Amino acid sequence: MTQQLQQQWAQCQTILADNMTSSAYQTWFAPIVPLQYAEGKLVLQVKSTFVAEYIEENYLPLLSSAIVRVFGQGTRLEYRALIDSQSGAATMLPSAGVQTPVKSNSLPQQPNTDFESQLNLVYTFDSFVAGEPNKLARTAGLAIAKQPGYTAFNPLFIYGGSGVGKTHLANAIGLQVKAMYPQARVLYVSANTFKIQYSEAARSNRIPDFLNFYQSVDVLIVDDIQYFAGLKGTQDTFFHIFNYLQQSHKQLILTSDRPPVELKDLEERLLTRFKWGLSAEILKPDYQLRKDILLSKMRRDGITLSDDVVDFIAQNVRDSVRDLEGILASLLAHSTLTDKEIDLALAEQVVSRIVAIQPKVVTVDMIISKVAKHYGITDRSITAQNRSREITQARHIATYLSKQLTNSSLSEIGFKMGRRTHATVLHSVQIVKEQMEFDAVLRQHIQQLENAIMN
């Protein structure tokens, strides 16, 4: 066993251990020894044929997912099962979970006109504004759209608070799949709708038809999966659908308001499967993303707002993309009905009715900390008597921002900057102002720091 193989199998073991109980992992997977990986075939040694058969029957999808993530698509799995532990005699057992490479024509190209996807045509990737809070989930979604069912992101479990864009992204993936594979049977369904459909099928003795329909889907998107909590029959049925689709290389996309580990009253076997692929969190939009969303929405709707209005909204409407869109709609309605220009006063009036405006108190100490972090230096170095060019520049910028963003007097700023004088503070502010007139890079740094401080 090479060191590389040992490290790769250790990565697989980590994935396996994270997705099952400790006792199950110790019983079935901890004793496995990786023997060889050559020409796309991985050979694992197990204690007996019974162990190999048990893993194949109960853990094959999870094991296959781990192997694909570490060793790559197209990996073939074979067990070396010991027959006699003393002599070392063994038999070779090929796995049923052979991973076949993705084919560009894995889905036929004829349009499917008789299947209603229930997708929202407005929720596209073009209208989904990218930013750091949604980067991982969006990147995984784009990869899935190119090769649905044949990436390591199956299922894709998207989670985050209300209004951050989970439903939008899930729909965008579905629409992109439809654009690339017109014949694909892509279905969006909310957890509540699935529950109602299941109840009606159970009452009318049509469970087999219900299963057949869902097992015919190529990409299944289930929104707000947390609403399956406590519904045993619904969970049991979805478990069988999930297994069938996942093992058939069909794509599953699930959304929730919390990660799998925090879901309550869901069966452990379902939670384990939710962790097989990728769990991607969409965070609340940061200041820059909120601003980008506003600007994007304004372009699409033909709305013109001044920079101070955009900044005010982005600074105060923090929790939800939905709230940002609601604010814009309200501003437009107020402006139209009252024939008033959308100015800062109107923005303050409208925003205060939707969110609690809590003015952020910016301090000199806060600014020193942000500037130091931005330039990779310590807070103490800014306030010390260090006269190196890098430190002096950072001190000038911290002083300038303190003058712009706080209510502190020049004397108070000077004291915080290491007991510097009133005149020194004015000198630092003037230096930065003059540099910003011709230095585009410095202007960009100042803007980034303002965003970081005010967010």
Check: CB of residue 177 under 8 Å from CB of residue 219. Answer: yes
**Distance of CA 341 to CAs 293, 316, 338, 374, 428, Å?**
21, 20, 9, 38, 38
Confidence (pLDDT) at 357:
57
114 found inside a domain: no
pLDDT band at 1 (very low <50, low <70, confident <90, very high): low
Check: CB of residue 413 under 8 Å from CB of residue 403. Answer: yes
CATH number of the domain encompassing residue 303: 1.10.8.60
- Predicted confidence (pLDDT) at residue 171 exceeds the cutoff of 90: yes
Task: Kindly state whether residues 141 and 274 are assigned to the same domain.
Answer: yes
- Predicted confidence (pLDDT) at residue 5 exceeds the cutoff of 70: yes
- Predicted confidence (pLDDT) at residue 219 exceeds the cutoff of 80: yes
Question: Which of 222, 249, 281 is where one domain is finished?
Answer: 281
pLDDT > 70 fraction of the chain, expressed in percent and rounded: 94
How far apart are alpha carbons 428 and 376 in whole angstroms? 20
Task: Kindly state whether residues 140 and 158 are assigned to the same domain.
Answer: yes
Confidence (pLDDT) at 87:
75
- Predicted confidence (pLDDT) at residue 407 exceeds the cutoff of 50: yes
CATH number of the domain encompassing residue 17: 3.30.300.180
Question: To 5 degrees, how large is the angle CA 242–CA 19–CA 136?
Answer: 80
| Average pLDDT estimate for 349-371 | 78
Task: Kindly state whether residues 257 and 151 are assigned to the same domain.
Answer: yes
| Average pLDDT estimate for 117-124 | 90
Task: Kindly state whether residues 211 and 160 are assigned to the same domain.
Answer: yes
pLDDT digits (tens, 9 = 90+) for 132-163: 888 889 999 999 999 898 888 889 999 988 88
Task: Kindly state whether residues 309 and 231 are assigned to the same domain.
Answer: no
CA nearest to 91, candidates 76, 104, 79, 107: 79
389 found inside a domain: yes
Confidence (pLDDT) at 359:
58
Task: Kindly state whether residues 437 and 300 are assigned to the same domain.
Answer: no
pLDDT digits (tens, 9 = 90+) for 426-444: 999 999 988 888 887 888 8
Confidence (pLDDT) at 355:
67
| Average pLDDT estimate for 374-381 | 90
Q: Output the DSSP codes for 344-400.
A: HHHHHHHHHHHS--------HHHHHHHHHHHHT--HHHHHSS---HHHHHHHHHHHH
Region at 223 (left for phi over 0; alpha for psi -120 to 50; beta for the rest)? beta
104 found inside a domain: no
Which residue would you say has higher pLDDT here, 344 or 9? Answer: 9
pLDDT > 90 fraction of the chain, expressed in percent and rounded: 29
- Predicted confidence (pLDDT) at residue 251 exceeds the cutoff of 90: yes
Task: Kindly state whether residues 246 and 343 are assigned to the same domain.
Answer: no
113 found inside a domain: no
Confidence (pLDDT) at 45:
93
CATH number of the domain encompassing residue 210: 3.40.50.300
Q: How many residues are given for the chain?
A: 455
Confidence (pLDDT) at 119:
92
| Average pLDDT estimate for 169-179 | 94
pLDDT band at 192 (very low <50, low <70, confident <90, very high): very high
Task: Kindly state whether residues 370 and 424 are assigned to the same domain.
Answer: yes
SS3 category, 231? coil
Question: Which of 255, 281, 307 is where one domain is finished?
Answer: 281
Residue-averaged pLDDT of the chain? 85
Domains in the chain, number: 4
Check: CB of residue 150 under 8 Å from CB of residue 144. Answer: no
CATH number of the domain encompassing residue 443: 1.10.1750.10
271 found inside a domain: yes
Least confident range from 31-35, 155-159, 389-393, 442-446: namely 442-446
How far apart are alpha carbons 263 and 274 in whole angstroms? 11
109 found inside a domain: no
Task: Kindly state whether residues 197 and 259 are assigned to the same domain.
Answer: yes
Residue range(s) defining the domain that contains residue 193? 132-281
222 found inside a domain: yes
| Average pLDDT estimate for 46-59 | 85
Task: Kindly state whether residues 188 and 243 are assigned to the same domain.
Answer: yes
Least confident range from 245-254, 272-281, 298-307: namely 298-307
Q: Classify residue 253 by burial, with Cβ atoms within 10 Å: 0-12, 13-18, 19+.
A: buried
Task: Kindly state whether residues 180 and 233 are assigned to the same domain.
Answer: yes
How far apart are alpha carbons 235 and 355 in whole angstroms? 37
What's this model's pTM, rounded to 2 decimal places?
0.57
How far apart are alpha carbons 172 and 151 in whole angstroms? 17
Question: Which of 227, 261, 281 is where one domain is finished?
Answer: 281
Task: Kindly state whether residues 440 and 402 are assigned to the same domain.
Answer: yes
How far apart are alpha carbons 137 and 256 in whole angstroms? 13
pLDDT digits (tens, 9 = 90+) for 78-117: 999 887 767 778 888 888 764 444 333 344 444 455 578 8
